[in-house]
Amino acid sequence: MLGLGDKCPLEPAVFAPALRSAANSQLATLKLITLILEAGGKRIIKDDLSRALYNIAKYERPFITSLLLEKGADPSRKYDTGMTALHLATFNRNNATAKLLISHGANVSVKDNDGQTALHIAAHYNCHAIAVKLIEAGADISVKDKRHLTPLHLAANYGSYEVTRLLIEHGADPWAQAPEGWMPLNLAALKKQDRVLEVLLATEKVTFSVEERERIVRLMGDRYPDF
């Protein structure tokens, strides 16, 4: 049996790469991660733990995620394209992992290099359960990315029906305009997202004037003739 701590044959400089490599593997096990952490002891610093947490967020490994968080990993640390572990867990629809990250204080307002929060990603991929937790944790439903798109813009564009309903229930604006005039309403119409469009049109905020209706039809062109 391998000895741990000072008896471990691994050199200190190997602990961090071993941890990152193990956490980046789909075959990572709680026992393997625990052995590396015990062997490294205090020589594994917070940044190593945080990188491992980011790597493991790609997979649904709640026990490993919980262990890394308990050891001091930072759930809000940004890597690569500005994404955090929460962005990555949301992108991969890892509900349990996202819930753990949020419960351990992950900053739900952090933006990646495209200016998107985890809620933008949840809206894009219709991750309803994660979106609920994000909103409960204080995520801004009106936050805009670098293209000035809100989560509702993305939900409407990609036909994310459940998240669209959730955002509307929490007061998201179907009339929110990006610089080019795009709104959740005309995006849903343009992409023929009928169910989403019905939800948007049913909100109390949606009242058409003649000018507004003409502008929406003009923006949609001939791609949605029955609107």
pLDDT for the residue numbered 31: 67
Q: How many domains does the chain have?
A: 2
The residue segments making up the domain with residue 61 are: 1-107
With 60 as the cut, is the pLDDT of residue 8 above it? Answer: no
> Which of 208, 227, 207 has the alpha carbon at shortest distance from 217?
227
- pLDDT of residue 157 exceeding 70: yes
Q: Across residues 198-217, what is the average pLDDT?
A: 67
**Domain match, 118 and 215 both:** yes
Query: Which residue in 124, 114, 57, 66 sits closest to 84, CA to CA?
Result: 57
Q: Which of 54, 87, 107 is the last residue of a domain?
A: 107
CATH of the domain at 42: 1.25.40.20
* pLDDT level of residue 12 (50, 70, 90 thresholds): very low
Q: What are phi and psi of 42, to 5 degrees?
A: -75, -5
Average pLDDT over the chain, rounded to whole?
Answer: 83
Is the same domain home to 115 and 222?
yes
Q: What is the DSSP letter of 176?
A: -
Q: Do residues 85 and 97 both lie within one domain?
A: yes
Over residues 154-174, the mean pLDDT reads 97
What's the CA gap between 23 and 64, in Å, rounded?
Answer: 9
Q: What is the pLDDT of residues 20-40, one digit of tens each?
A: 666 666 556 766 667 666 665
- Distant-in-sequence, close-in-space partners of 123: CB < 8 Å, separation ≥ 6: 131, 151, 152, 154, 155, 158, 160, 163, 164, 167
